[in-house]
Amino acid sequence: MLKNDIKIIEFTATPDGTIYDLMNWGVNAHKIKMEPGQNYTSCFDLKNQGRVHQYDDLCCFNKTTKKINKVLVSKNINKIKKHIDKYAEPKYHIIRTPNGNMANIVINNFKKIIDNDMKVRKYDKESDIDDINNILKIKPKLRCSKTLYYL
């Protein structure tokens, strides 16, 4: 690429290892750090505002035994339920799940522990949701004495 004068511009919010690979290019590469724009809300801001919480393992699947630790997963999910139950009116609750089949295990754990009829919407590269904000801007509706949980 150097011989052919090929230029590459990379923009990333999560540089991981790519930034380190780029630094191996010496004088043939340059890193520019952009600062967040006005009104940007970071994950740290959300945590400080009490809108994002760190929770424990929601899968509790042992890959060796191929079993779920039911006691631990119940404890971890009930910790979230206690937080959710504090709201006076329905809210959406977004849970980040692991990849692959582990996501299904987490969803099934929630259904078994909280409510088997809960409504779950997946939002990933394979989902039919174009923009999650189109869902989140509509207040959740409930039937009598029913709490709605979105993962």
Task: With residue 133 as reference, give the H or E element that holds it.
Answer: helix 133-136
pTM of the model: 0.66
Confidence label for 142 from pLDDT (cuts 50, 70 and 90)? low
Is the distance from CB of 117 to CB of 70 less than 8 angstroms? no
Report for 13-27, 80-94, 98-112, 128-142: range of highest mean pLDDT: 98-112
Contacting residues for 53 by C-beta, under 8 A, at least 6 apart: 47, 80, 83
Residue 93 to residue 110: CA distance in whole angstroms: 12
